[in-house]
């Protein structure tokens, strides 16, 4: 039986929101592209990538799954803005989840994963992410 976190990555369509402060977000984007997922990248940094959008309001209403890894802004505000668009599924990168995000996890209309690094689930077994996954399994944090 797979975990909620593993099931999240089996989906087809993703929006990844980054501000360039978490390297794992770039790795997450690259891994999702390798897996052939439909992907929209939102780059909120001062120097966004040319193939990324740079404004949350440009995310389409039909987006399904959002991965957020920002430290320069409050991720809970991003979730609240996207909830209005009907988006329900979120993964907030470990270390970027805040008290306000934790409060939103109690909203029955939202499905929010926190306290987990995406690459622990996306990384190869022989990578540092695979070692992270092994340790998390041993200590019961997978």
Per-residue model confidence as pLDDT tens for the chain (142 residues): 668 888 999 999 999 999 999 888 998 999 999 999 999 999 999 888 888 999 999 999 889 999 999 999 999 999 999 999 999 999 999 889 999 999 999 999 999 999 888 877 675 556 555 555 556 666 766 5
Give the start-to-end residue ranges of the domains of the chain.
4-138
For residue 123, the model assigns a pLDDT of 58
Q: Which bin fits 53, alpha (ψ -120 to 50), beta or left (φ > 0)?
A: beta
Task: Select from 3.40.190.10, 3.20.20.300, 3.40.50.720, 3.40.50.300 the CATH code of 4-138.
Answer: 3.40.50.720
3-state secondary structure 2-15: CCHHHHHHCCCEEE
By the 8 A CB rule, do 21 and 68 touch? no
C-alpha span between 102 and 34 (Å, rounded): 31
Question: Within a 10 A sphere around the Cβ of 77, how many other Cβ atoms?
Answer: 14
| Eight-state DSSP code of residue 73 | S
Three-class SS state of 74: coil
For residue 103, the model assigns a pLDDT of 97
For residue 133, the model assigns a pLDDT of 52
C-alpha span between 36 and 85 (Å, rounded): 25
C-alpha span between 130 and 140 (Å, rounded): 15
For residue 1, the model assigns a pLDDT of 65
């Amino acid at each position: 039986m797979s975990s909620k976190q593993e099931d999240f990555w089996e989906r087809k369509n993703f929006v990844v929101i980054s501000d360039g402060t978490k390297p794992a977000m770039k790795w997450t984007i690259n891994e999702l592209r390798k897996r052939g997922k439909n992907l929209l990248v939102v780059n909120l940094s001062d120097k966004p990538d040319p193939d990324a959008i740079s404004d949350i309001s440009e995310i389409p209403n039909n987006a399904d799954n959002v991965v957020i890894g920002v430290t320069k802004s409050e991720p809970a505000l991003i979730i609240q803005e996207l909830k209005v668009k009907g988006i329900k599924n979120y993964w907030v990168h470990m270390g970027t989840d805040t008290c306000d995000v934790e409060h939103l996890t109690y909203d029955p209309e939202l499905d929010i994963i926190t306290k987990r690094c995406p690459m622990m689930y996306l990384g190869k077994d022989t990578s540092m992410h695979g070692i992270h996954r092994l340790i998390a399994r041993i200590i019961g944090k997978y």
